[in-house]
């Protein structure tokens, strides 16, 4: 059917003949640009969630100082941590943090250790109600880059802190 012979088209053209189309100059569904800080926080959350589960229960000592050793690490390493043979290059203070915040900070610390090639770090959880003191060893035992940890010597916080030995691959470039 031809447009000129169609009475509906003629009526439509008569009614809307002088109207000009609007220019579409805005994108209403454009994604907002996220700041670098927002992207980094999201990456840390994903990183922390991928390694740390609150349900995992590693075999940890009931008596004596808190300590743990990865299966493929020399058995002398926790003793060296206890004696203070390793000096921590990075410190993390978790005082006053909630579990979710502490988990993100711990993930960021371990990422920083690997990136900066830091062999030993200290995580201070404090005394408080004991929630972080209880959760921290469970989180550390799950991370693949943690070789061992031991209750810190007195000069680094004693039983309110842990010294963590981080596995630094020579193949990894930071």
Query: Pairing relation of β-strands 146-151 and 120-124?
Result: unpaired
d(CA 5, CA 18): 21
Residue 28's pLDDT is 66
d(CA 131, CA 95): 11
Residue 9's pLDDT is 82
The separation between CA 28 and the C-alpha centre of its own chain, rounded to angstroms, equals: 33
19 CB contacts (<8 Å, ≥6 apart)?
none
Q: DSSP string covering 49-117, please?
A: HHH--SS------SSSS-EEE-TTS-TTHHHHHHHT-SPPSEEEE-TT--HHHHHHHHHHHHHHHHHHT
Sign of CA dihedral 123, 124, 128, 133: positive
Query: Is-above-0.85 flag for pTM?
Result: no
Residue 174's pLDDT is 41
Residue 49's pLDDT is 66
Mean pLDDT per 10-residue interval, the chain, length 174 residues: 74 82 72 76 71 77 86 87 89 89 89 92 88 89 91 87 87 47
Residue 173's pLDDT is 46
Residue 122's pLDDT is 95
């Amino acid at each position: 059917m031809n447009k000129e012979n169609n009475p509906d088209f003629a009526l439509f053209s008569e009614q809307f003949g002088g109207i000009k189309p609007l220019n579409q100059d805005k994108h209403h569904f454009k994604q907002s640009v996220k700041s670098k800080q927002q992207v980094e926080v999201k990456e840390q959350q994903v990183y922390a969630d991928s390694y740390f589960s609150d349900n995992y229960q590693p075999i940890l000592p009931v008596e004596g100082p808190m300590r743990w050793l990865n299966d493929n690490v020399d058995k002398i390493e926790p003793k060296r941590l206890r004696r203070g043979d390793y000096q921590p290059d990075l410190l993390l203070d978790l005082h006053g943090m909630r579990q979710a915040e502490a988990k993100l900070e711990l993930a960021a610390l371990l990422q920083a250790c690997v990136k900066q090639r830091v062999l030993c770090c200290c995580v201070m959880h404090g005394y408080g109600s004991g929630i972080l003191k209880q959760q921290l060893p469970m989180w550390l035992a799950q991370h693949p880059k943690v070789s061992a940890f031991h209750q810190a010597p007195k000069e680094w916080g004693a039983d309110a802190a842990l010294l963590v030995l981080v596995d630094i691959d020579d193949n990894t470039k930071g």
